[in-house]
Structure 1
Amino acid sequence: MASLARWCFRHRRLVLLLWIVALIGLGGISQAAGNDYKDAFSLPGTDSQKAIDLLQRDFPAASGDSATIVLHSRTGAPLTDPALRGPATEMLDKLATLPHVSAVHSPFERGGETQISKSDGLTAFASVDFDQQGIDLPKDDIQTFVDTARSSDSSSLQVEATGQLVAVIEQQEQSYSELIGIVAAAVILFLAFGSLLAVTLPLITAIIALGVGSMLIILFSHVITIAEFSPILATLIGLGVGIDYALFIVNRHRIGLRAGKSPEEAAVTAVNTSGRAVLFAGITVCIALLGMFALGVSFLYGVAISAAVVVAMTMFAAVTLLPALLGFYGMRVLNRRDRRRLAEDGPEHASTSGFWWNWAKRIERRPQLFAVVSGVVILVIAVPFFSLRLGSSDLGNGDTSKTTKRGYDLLADGFGPGFNGPFSLVAEIRSPQDKATFDAVVRAARTTPGVASVSEPRESPKGQAEIATLYPTTSPQAEDTSKLLHRLRDDVVPQANQTNTGIYIGGITAIFEDFSSTLSDKLPLFIGVVVVLAFLLLVAVFRSLLIPLTASVMNLLAVGASFGIVVAVFQWGWGSSVFSVTGGPVEAFIPVILFAILFGLSMDYEVFLVSRMHEEWTARRDNQLAVSLGQAETGRVISAAGGIMTLVFASFILGDDRVIKLMGLGLASAIVIDAFIIRTVLVPSLMHVFGRANWWVPSWLDRILPRISVEAAEDIEEIRHTPLPADALPAAAIPIGGGHVHEVPGQAHHESDAPRAGEPTH
């Protein structure tokens, strides 16, 4: 690391040029290629996937996606009035001629009377079938479809388009949220550094790395399937970790400058210490993200890869671009006051006085109390997590500025909320008996509680499949709708199907329910893989069993507490007016993505905190001193980093997309809990309680573990000769587990502190 940092510092013009060329070059290529983002669901073996496969094989006209055109009379006259029916029919005829539209089922055609509200006749809907799934349809064609329908909207006739297909083109960019997050980060950086020039270093590094990573994601979208929200999620993570990684290195660099080192030596030391911690922290984030592959759900592969690419770029920029920028800035990384003090008073070592040293000593004195109180607080916050209900929120959660939301509300008012998320009953017809069986299933479904209506079965052109549409009485996101689906599959269909005819229940609501069940079944394996891999990495880095175990438990607590807040707001509806959301289920894929990100980010702070403690332990062999000094010297920068990441994540709550709001709140709340409760209170308290056991590893395991060091040997030697604060010596002189104490100036040493079996030697 030292050689890399020195080379980048001395060849700073070349390094900066290479990054700029990469940014501009990839930007040009990605602009020419365009993106190919798409939300592709594939759930092999599920009922909904079998329904899709059967329709694609035997009923292609009904196998594509669908949308709904909602008509509403604004004058109070029924829609059958010629003055309203004429323009509506003309518009529907135009839709039938558009590309990829396979059929339009008008409420004004024969048999369409059921598509007009019976209560007042003021609302009607037309179902539009497409010849492909939404992910395969060009967005321009979807936009043309919506524009053609909406062009007939007038003062007398309201026309809206709704459905998941239409929602694809209504997703809004989060550019303002990103800008707000960057401004908030700049404010905290200025408070931390007191220098405008120093503020620009983490921002420039993070933004360039994020730019390169974003361009790579666009190019990757042509090779692998990447979901529509992946770039926003990658931006969310990239801004947070990119600024934080650069912050830790710049902070260590400034400490070196104030200690009298030259800009080059300070930069080399910063990258050789904090830079190593950045690499290990970033690797844990990537491990957690790529752990989503263990789920075997292809929809999440692109999400994992895109986020991991951005994190990798931020790591690479932190250890290459940042030392080059430090070479350009020189001593100006310090503010004028610090430079003047250095010139007048000479070098000064990092001070352990002030708030964080006093706080560390307070925890050292009463670790049991702080551990219990902080642990109880986190557990209380996590309580709502046990009520987590996975599913998919429906279009009723959107803003009224969207045609999908307005159409949803009109359908719910005119026909009931279940009309916004119908199920598809699909049967494989091989004989007259199969047809009779399917008719029996349809009749049984109509009498099932929770079913509003079931359409007459439609036969495929070759007569090898039939499809019927079932409308629940409850909305797509309602828990009763999920219960109805399971009742139909487990009881109603099997009881009516005495001939083992292939009958499946599909539709967008069923797809999301199957997606939720699939992820829930595989979630324990995913969590286990991520936790075990991160545990093994920390064991190798810190030569300890207890520290990685504690870190894993703490990270799980942080994730659980953040889920508790998410459930309270997005499921229970607490503070719904503040966050502009309505209560509903948590999207099925959110826990997976949040866990991967949060576990990785939590490990970031663990590595930064414990690596500093490990330096002190390796140099002085005193647990209390190592924990207190490590906490005191990292507390300020971890709190600043936590504040930056919290504000960056929280800024995404300001958008109008429910999924992005949910991820923003979940990530922001987790960082607050992790940075300001777990790393500043709970972890130090427990490490004081555990004592020397923190650093124990069996001798046989120590021999076979790879040698991965976060600290360099020269830095350990420098720490050994760094004077200790006066009030640290009495605490350090207390024997742990017996042993005579010999005090050496600037160092506390125990006879019993000689390396024991299983402890690393230096």
Structure 2
Amino acid sequence: MRDRCVWVVGHLAGRCARYRWPLLTAWAVLSLVAALYIRDSDATYTQQVAPPDSQASQAMDRVAAVSPDGRLPDLETVVLRARRGTLADPLPHGQMTALIAEVSKLPGVLLVAEPTGPLGPAVLGITPVSDDQRTAMIAVMMKGGALSPNRGAVRHLIETARAYDGPELQVEMSGPGTTMIQSGHVSTTPLIFAVLVGLILVGAALRSQPGIVVCLISGAAAALLAVAATAWLAHKTIMTPFAPIVTGMLAFGICLGGAVVVVYRMQSALLRGEHRVQAAVSVTASSGAAMAAGGLSLTIATLIIGGLGLSGFGGIAFAAATVGAITSLVMLTLLPALIAASGTRLLGWTDRHYLSTAGTGLGRRPGLRSWWATLVGHYPAPVALAAGILLLGLAAQISGVRLGGGDDGTEPTSMTTRRAYDLISDGFFPGMNGPILVAVDQTAGARGGGRTVPAADIAAAIKATPGVMVTGVSIDDAKHGIAVVRVLPAAGPRTRQASDLVRKLREDVLPAVLHGSVTTADVGGPTALFDDAAADFRAGLPMLLFIVLVSVAMATFLVVPSAALAAVLGACATLSVLASTGALRMLFQSNGPAQRLGVTVSPVEPYVLVPIIVAVFGLAPGMNLILLMRLGERSQAGPGHSPAASQPSIRNGARRSLIRSSRDGIRHGHADLGHIVLTMNMVMLIVFAAIAAQPPRALKMMGLGLAAGVAVEALLLRMAIIPAAAHLCRLRQVGTTPRNDQQITVGGVRLTVPTVPILVGFPLGWQGSRWRNPSPTRDSIPVPNSPRTPDQTGARASTGTANHRALYRYRSRIPRHRTSPASGRPESLPNSRR
């Protein structure tokens, strides 16, 4: 099955490389169409916090049914505080009056409730002026909805109100629209710095400007298509506001990482003297097949997750499924065309000059990566055990994660929403920032179905509950049979006390007061919404982890048919997802790290965990499978491989290295590709660190969660567990035993000596759909006849054309010792020499 897949990928890559210019033109047109669609799509993104069938969601639906336009109103709050004296003083009072007059004339403003007028207490539920007369709240009802506010109108409101902030009056803003705008504010300085550092790292790894351009083009094309697909899906299903960022970043990261690996391997193939078409086919048939398997696993897994309807994963799961398909398409079509069109321009000037004169390129010193690969090869069990224990320890941190909801009080003090939260908490009480809404349904009683309970009785029972500060009936619509009771708790919305109050109302207070009646009541509000989302997320997490384990294991088994290795990688992928979540507990639910990050200890929101899990899972399979396939490559050529692609080449001034066993093959593959994979992980870490450097807490949490997941994958899986597990499982493929083994007799003992051909010059080539002797055309090179194997170390020039000759060198490694049958100890062989 694997060989057939590789053959198909090689055949497709050969066609793409041969018809590269029409294909590149088609991709340019497709990218332009995607960019225009993104600009004109007018997609709407909505944050669905609670599951549709939860009690909090039903309460919000009933509140929306009796609200204007049938949706939750967007109620923004302007918080004023007199810096000196009180708000009744002439100067602060005059500024407050002027602010109210100007805000009421803004477009998009439906209603302004003055603090000293009758509308203020009716809208907010309490007197909107503090007892010390220094703090006041101005309720501004916008024309948009709370879940989809008019951002332009809200932004204009913020600018107008904040203009009155001065030495006499402090002005801050809060509300759904303000929070959404503030949480989406992105500083460009960290991102620009991250991009520059990333380009430097990629340039240091590839040492070629055209190579960097090829990688960026592949990533940009994938990101454009992914964001366009997300915008199209936003018209079909509910899509979170994080979806375009996550899908674009996921597509760009997957394709950039895969493209860097492919370009690096293309450079290595060119340095061995391969033709550009042959090299493009060989590297795509190996690394491209691995990326396609990773993209396929991502697509299948996320489609299953979206189909099962796991909480919070619906829209973003389908968007991630399109990312998997898009990245596979880019890696198998666009990238082969790009590297084939670039050819030797992917090499530096020195390498191109040496290649044109000597037929091969300069050798690359392995350095530190060779030392680490040798160390892992010598001690695979201890390395795997140490990395596995560390991975289990990080994943175990998820047991202490508190899921729930944050609020404006958890944001950095540099944000106006956090300062408004503090002013309201100090001037009134913390629970004013997170009211609880109880939606009372009396429609059954209106149809004559039995006894009903008035909303006033329900409010009186709730007011007698400990922990409740203020309770009142804000809406009582007899026509629709729905009433809304506003409950203002003493504790803030992110605290355990607020969650306990919601639980007590649902389980004790409301069932007692509604017993024997047909009236029903659902508890909603910010605290209830996040608590319901957290409960539903916990219920669906085991199924999610099972899908991740099975999909990664199946993709691994497709690349390397080893059940043990597939199980190891599936389990490690699941643990890495848990480790990224556990890292958030250590960073955001401990006082020391939270203070250093400038935020407050608080629960972790499920809607933030969803994109983290999707991105960590999506970025992992492709790079893991690329490394795994490279570790399994041996000296025997197979379908879709160039014969020289897995043969060791003679490095300039270096000793010839022979792959004598599967251990040597794994070690050489780890040393050759491990540093490239690690470089790409470092680039992603820098980008995620730039996201974590943004002011909003949600972006900090997302950036650090993604960085933790990538760090675990890079430092534990790809540097340690995967190569160590490969050594322990001894990756074996067809053609493990070299075909040119010699039977020789030394001192009366008959030995089998492996003889590995070392190719210098132009290799045999893969020509599209089958192996054949190509004709002398622009994209093919005449293939010489294969030489016979000599008895001992030597060289023989092959017969061929005068302009294209290949020189095969053979080296026999003869053992200097043998094991004595009598003593079992090694003894020297006569006339043996190295």
1:465 aligned to 469, 474, 482, which one? 482
Alpha-carbon distance in 2 for matches of 1:419, 1:73: 16
Equivalent residue number for residue 187 of structure 1: 200
- State percent identity of aligned pairs: 26
1:538-563 Cα deviation digits (max 9, x unpaired): 33332222111100111122223222
Q: Deviations over 1:303-346 (max 9, x none)?
A: 23334444543432333232333234321211123234434544
| Secondary structure of the corresponding residue to residue 573 of structure 2 | helix
**Contact 1:295-1:519 within 8 A present in 2 as well:** no
Shift of 1:401: 4.8
Q: Are the counterparts in 1 of residues 55 and 523 from structure 2 also a CA contact under 8 Å? A: yes
Structure 2 letter corresponding to 1:448: T
Name 1:361's counterpart in structure 2.
374
Stretch of structure 1 that moved more, 28-37 or 411-420? 28-37
- Give, in whole Å, the separation in 1 of the partners of 2:396 and 2:311: 32
Q: Which moved more, 1:484-493 or 1:190-199?
A: 190-199
**2 CA distance for matches of 1:184 and 1:240?**
15
- Equivalent residue in structure 1 for 2:706, among 667, 671, 679: 667
2:603 pairs with one of 566, 585, 594: 585
State the alpha-carbon separation in 2 of the partners of residues 92 and 453 from structure 1.
27
SS at match of 1:424: strand
Q: Which runs of 5+ in 2 are unaligned?
A: 1-8, 638-658, 735-767, 773-785, 790-807, 820-834
Aligned equivalent of 1:534: 552
* Equivalent position of 2:629 in the other structure: 611
Q: CA deviation at 1:694?
A: 11
Contact 2:470/2:488, CA 8 A, preserved across alignment = yes
Judge conservation of contact 2:208–2:347 (CA < 8 Å) in 1: yes
User: Which residues of 2 match residues 425-574 of structure 1 at below 5 A?
Assistant: 425-429=438-442, 436=453, 438-460=455-477, 462=479, 464-500=481-517, 501-574=519-592
Larger radius of gyration: 2
CA contact (8 A) 2:226 2:322 kept: yes
Matched, 1:230 2:243: yes
Whole-angstrom distance in 2 between the partners of 1:57 and 1:519? 27
Q: 1:418 aligns with which of 423, 428, 431?
A: 431
Alignment-derived partner of residue 618 in structure 2: 600
Change in 2 beyond 3 A, CA 1:357/1:69: closer
Aligned position for 1:702: none
- Residues 382, 560 of structure 1: 8 Å contact kept: yes
Residue 316 to residue 57, structure 1, CA distance change in 2 (3 Å): same
In the superposition, relative to structure 1, how do residues 524 and 307 fare at CA in structure 2: closer, same or farther (>3 Å)? same
1:640 aligns with 2:657: no
Q: Residues 705-744 of structure 1 correspond to what in structure 2 (within 5 A)?
A: none
Q: Which residue of 1 aligns with 2:252?
A: 239
How does the TM-score come out when normalised to structure 1? 0.83
The one-letter amino acid of 1:628's match is R
Cα gap change, 1:588 to 1:641, in 2 (>3 Å): same
Matches within 5 A, 1:262-301: 262-294=275-307, 296=309, 300-301=313-314
Letter in 1 for 2:722: V
Structure 1 unaligned spans of 5+: 696-710, 734-762
- What's the offset of the Cα at 1:247? 0.9
After TM superposition, the structure 1 = structure 2 runs for residues 38-57 of structure 1, keeping only pairs within 5 Å, are: 38-41=46-49, 43-57=51-65
Paired with 1:466 and 1:287, the residues of 2 have a C-alpha distance of: 45
Distance 1:608 1:655 in 2: 32
By percentage of residues, which structure has more helix?
Answer: 1
1:167 maps to which of 179, 184, 195: 179
Give the conservation status (yes or no) of the 8 Å contact 1:616–1:630: no
Note the C-alpha offset of 1:350.
8.1
Residue 373 (structure 1) shift = 1.9
Shift of 1:394: 0.8
Counterpart for residue 650 of structure 1: 689
Aligned residue type for 2:608: I
CA shift for structure 1 position 169: 3.0
For 2:617 and 2:342, the matched residues in 1 are separated by: 35
Which of 656, 677, 681 lines up with 2:716 in the alignment?
Answer: 677
Q: Residue in 1 aligned with 2:23?
A: 15
Question: Aligned partner of 2:507: which letter?
Answer: D
Tell me the amino acid that sits aligned with residue 160 of structure 1.
E
Shift of 1:191: 1.7
Structure 2 letter corresponding to 1:596: V
The structural deviation recorded for 1:588 is 1.0
- CA RMSD, 1 decimal: 3.8
Equivalent position amino acid for 1:442 in 2: A
Q: Per-residue CA shift, 1:353-377, capped at 9, x if unaligned?
A: 6433432332232222222222222
Aligned-partner Cα distance in 1 for 2:515–2:217: 68
Query: What are the superposed Cα offsets for residues 276-302 of structure 1, whole Å, 9 maximum, x if unpaired?
Result: 112112222333444441452585433
Q: Call closer, same or farther: CA 1:691–1:254 in 2, change over 3 Å.
A: closer
Query: What SS is found at the alignment partner of 2:137?
Result: strand
Letter in 1 for 2:628: V
| Number of residue pairs aligned between Structure 1 and Structure 2 | 713
Q: 1:279 to 1:160 in 2, by over 3 A?
A: same
Q: Does 1:6 align with 2:25?
A: no
- CA distance, structure 1, for counterparts of residue 251 and residue 679 of structure 2: 17
| In 2: Cα distance, 1:340 partner to 1:654 partner | 44
Contact kept in structure 2, 1:288 and 1:600, CA below 8 Å:
no
**TM norm structure 2:** 0.77
Matched, 1:79 2:118: no
SS at match of 1:505: strand
Q: Distance in 2 between matches of 1:728 and 1:438?
A: 95
How far is the alpha carbon of 1:132 from its aligned partner? 5.9
